Structure 1
């Protein structure tokens, strides 16, 4: 839950941490990227993908620096508490007023001297898992903390809406495609929601039935505490990489045999809005960095490893998207890329077709309860008052209900995954990936200088330590917000 400091858990090597981060970033967004690539043109898409990957790397280093600064605050408070306990033991007979005055003077004078004596680098070791909500409470004022929670809650709502739409949409596409045609989606057919699925049932009816079943099966987990097990994570990761490998190999084989149908344009500005949102969403990891980075056993070359991770992810996204847009026509690419392989002319083996078509169902279904519980806990933290407790009805009914209903209602109204991912990434994603890290690193630097003096050096400070980079990230975030909003307004006015 955001806002809590918890144990680091079992430590793992830097390379295991790299794999965990890779698995976290490469998720649902990767499945919507091929269509966004085809809509915006391959040259514009590649350029924007590289640039947004770089910007995400910059803000990732910002968050790691803020984590180290928050750890320094915690370490310093522990040192202060231990020193005060020692002083209390040695001067128990002293007058209370004199003791308070001495404690005040010690708190005012000791920081720089103590940092110089003990070494500032030890203070900035990342040993405690400090979530983003806790960092916000340390470095932001009350307004900033509330804005942080508003941003993270909005993002999690978008995440849940995407998941709630993706599972029923995949089931509808697999079971309704082609009516009685068991071979799946036909290459030259564009289906409408009003087309028939089974007998009198329309495709949209089937979608909503699947959505209702999905909600009834997974929704109750929102009312309880649920934890992702290690084995479940291993299983979903294994399924993910088998699916991605199959799709890339099949696309390459079709292109190699001269069966590629795609002729993507160099650039098409009309598709840039959704591409931007998809790319931001596809590089999202900043909110989970404390859980990923803190258990790493050796953090000496942490920034270098993160950079390597981003290079690998860029290469993977490029390979997946380029094989997709040259294998399939842009107008035939579906929002969920796996569904393009539910065709007999693409995959002749029925088991593979159904595995790829239903792949989002298995992987997304395991993540939905985890995200729902995280959102519910963030609501609780936002309204929590020190020392207060919630009535049973509020705690067990109201918070889970306001967590579950909005994303299900959004999914009931639309299954346009590309737009859902684009809007979530372009607005809430921009706040989490750019705005919050920029303000965190700026304020933590000021706070560290005041608390520990200018000689204290954060060993995990970002290589982008000049103030220019903070300003540039904020300027870019503001520009993106204006661009996406203007693009939406223009699109609506044309309609």
Structure 2
């Protein structure tokens, strides 16, 4: 769960942290970690309720089948059936209907608890989020490659931290922005075709990227601490800077995102008795890790020197990191993101198919193999072609689609699942995986918070655009 949460969003957090002020950032980070933990417990409760509903439907089907078998039985078969134990009744009496043993993804939970409009809105939110993910990935890889392979006279690691202008030369007459677009085209040509096929058996790739992530983050924290300890820290972050809160909110929401992957993550856990406590421990570790990463970053580098992706502050930096470490950190997002991009793209393509799925129908070959992959791949690549402002991409994705996935959907899932469980199993049957925030007021508080954040971020964007 730690590896799932700590991903690309964490690399954009130090700059957002510095731009909003360290005190405001810390308070918001702690509060958003708490909110994310709350909605995670909502999803766990909804998973248990979905398991109970599916189990109940299965029991009902068995009873119907047994009833029809009794009608077709001869007298001798009927006598033998009378002395057999009533297995369905025993199962119902002994088995806990809320035991999480079957993986029920969020889409399936939406189909169980939401109406048709709710299901469509759910898939729309998931699709927008995945588009944002792909756009962030498509921009992050070329940026890293440009930073590592383009050199200029003022690209030292001093006060400017290697920040360079897009119009500066990269290779002769080729500008940095041109090099970025060339790398984007190569990235699309190499990884785009995976969208047209299925991606399977990525276990060892995921293990390798997890190890690289741990090594890279540890190196960055240690290097920043060494520089601060030597008295060379250039950061003097303010306490608060309201203009940076909008992006910080989106980045933090994106960086705590795990709700959509919880069914795959938690269902295989063998002992789920202390699941809520273990999840709380995970969130506490992630919060401590983010705080350590961000505070070492903002006191090591000045706010103007921090780059959109924190790894880029170490690439090509002779005094701060040995060349080998600089290249490793600069290329770290390239390797990790390149392994995740095809998986996210295939997931998005399958969500499009599910949204437009016709009962009992199949898609023509051209639509299935060409149209769906193209509408999956083209928009994020076009967005990455137009902008490589990673902080804004992460902020907008988190503030809108991330807001829906992390707050709105879990709150409605838990409210609807409680209502459905009461109707199907009766009000007396207790869900042992019920959230510690069991009062309905908590779910409504989450929805109110999500609406407030949506209004704030939208108003902030509008006012920023119209201001001179």
Q: TM-score range by the shorter chain?
A: over 0.9
1:67 corresponds to which residue?
47
Instruction: Give me the whole-angstrom Cα distance separating, in 2, the residues matched to 1:133 and 1:386.
Output: 16
Indicate the SS of the match to 1:197: strand
C-alpha separation between the residues in 1 aligned to 2:169 and 2:274?
A: 57
60, 65, 71: which is aligned to 1:91? 71
RMSD (Å), alpha carbons: 1.7
1:124-273 to structure 2, matched below 5 A, reads 124-178=98-152, 187-188=159-160, 190-273=163-246
Runs of 4+ in 1 over 4 A off after TM superposition: 113-117, 183-186
Matches within 5 A, 1:395-406: 395-406=368-379
Aligned: 1:362 with 2:324: no
Assess, with a 3 A threshold, how the Cα gap between structure 1 residues 115 and 337 changes in structure 2: closer, same or farther. Answer: farther
Give 2:15's aligned residue.
35
Is residue 442 of structure 1 aligned with residue 422 of structure 2?
Answer: no
2:57 paired with 1:77: yes
Q: Distance in 1 between matches of 2:389 and 2:431?
A: 45
* 1:221-259: CA deviation from partner (whole Å, max 9, x where unpaired): 000000252211110000010000000000001111101
Query: For residues 434 and 82 of structure 1, what CA distance do their matches in structure 2 show?
Result: 37
Distance 1:279 1:434 in 2: 13
- In the alignment, the residues of structure 2 paired with residue 28 and residue 296 of structure 1 have an alpha-carbon distance, to the nearest angstrom, of 26
**In structure 2, C-alpha distance between the alignment counterparts of 1:474 and 1:403, rounded to whole Å:** 30
Q: Classify the secondary structure of the residue corresponding to 2:170.
A: strand
Q: TM-score, normalised by structure 2?
A: 0.94
Distance in 2 (CA, whole Å) between partners of 1:31 and 1:232 is 20
What corresponds to 2:358 in structure 1? 385
**Is contact 1:174-1:184 (8 Å) kept?**
no
In structure 2, the residue corresponding to 1:396 is in which secondary structure? helix
Tell me the TM-score normalized by structure 1. Answer: 0.89
Match of 2:307 in 1: 334
User: Mind listing any 5+ residue stretches in structure 1 that lack a counterpart?
Assistant: 1-20, 95-112
Q: Report Cα offsets for 1:27-58 as digits up to 9, x if no partner.
A: 00000000000000000000000000000000
Q: In structure 2, how many angstroms separate the alpha carbons of the residues matched to 1:131 and 1:237? A: 23
State yes or no: 1:118 paired with 2:98. no
1:72-95 Cα deviation digits (max 9, x unpaired): 01111111122222222222279x
351-360 or 186-195, which deviates more: 186-195
8 Å contact from structure 1 (residues 63, 437) kept in 2? yes
CA distance in 2, matches of 1:259, 1:387: 66
Instruction: Tell me the CA shift for residue 377 of structure 1.
Output: 0.1
Aligned to 1:493: 466
Cα 1:338–1:489 change in 2 (3 A) is same
Equivalent-residue separation in structure 1 for 2:89 and 2:350 (angstroms): 38
Taking the aligned partners of 1:437 and 1:485, their CA distance within structure 2 comes to 22
Deviation at 1:440, TM superposition (A): 0.4
How big is each residue's C-alpha offset from its partner over 1:117-172, in whole Å with a ceiling of 9 and x where there is no partner? 615x7111111111100000010000000000000000000000000000001111
What is the CA–CA distance in structure 2 between the aligned matches of 1:327 and 1:178, rounded to whole Å?
Answer: 23
